[in-house]
């Protein structure tokens, strides 16, 4: 048995992407951020849909062509495949823990 809130480092020089499950047609990962954002030069453009839930903390996500989306604890969003998106901001004073399901 595992706990999604275990093994969270005190200092995060880089955002952490931890694969929890990788099965037929689905990948589930835990993402830990603390003041991190997407590189200025790029957008994520993924081949699969991504459903994201914020378990702790806060973030601002930007989907290309839309207004920024403020995500707080319990908020989730489904990002269709090839919808360009980026993380504009995560709370620098707290860890933001995401659960991402790629399908």
What are 3-43's pLDDT values in tens digits?
999 999 988 889 999 999 999 999 999 999 999 998 877 89
Query: Would you say residue 66 has pLDDT above 90?
Result: yes
Domain boundaries along the sequence of the chain = 16-102
Radius of gyration of the chain (CA): 13
CB 91 within 8 A of CB 13: no
Q: Would you state the pLDDT for residue 39?
A: 83
CATH fold of 16-102 reads: Jelly Rolls (2.60.120)
Query: Would you say residue 86 has pLDDT above 90?
Result: yes
Query: Would you say residue 45 has pLDDT above 90?
Result: yes
Q: Would you state the pLDDT for residue 85?
A: 96
Tell me what the mean pLDDT of segment 71-85 comes to.
Answer: 98
Tell me what the mean pLDDT of segment 65-79 comes to.
Answer: 97
pTM score over 0.75 = yes
**Residues facing 19 on adjacent strands:** 29
Tell me what the mean pLDDT of segment 44-64 comes to.
Answer: 97
DSSP state of 40: T
């Amino acid at each position: 048995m595992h706990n999604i809130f275990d093994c969270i480092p005190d200092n995060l020089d880089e955002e952490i992407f931890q694969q929890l499950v990788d099965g037929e047609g689905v990948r589930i990962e835990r993402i830990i951020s603390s003041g991190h954002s997407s590189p200025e030069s790029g957008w994520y453009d993924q081949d699969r849909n991504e459903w994201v839930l914020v378990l702790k903390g806060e973030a601002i996500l930007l989907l290309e062509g839309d207004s920024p989306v403020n995500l707080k604890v319990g908020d989730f969003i489904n990002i269709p495949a090839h919808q360009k998106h980026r993380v504009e901001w995560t709370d620098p004073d707290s860890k933001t823990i995401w659960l991402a399901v790629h399908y």
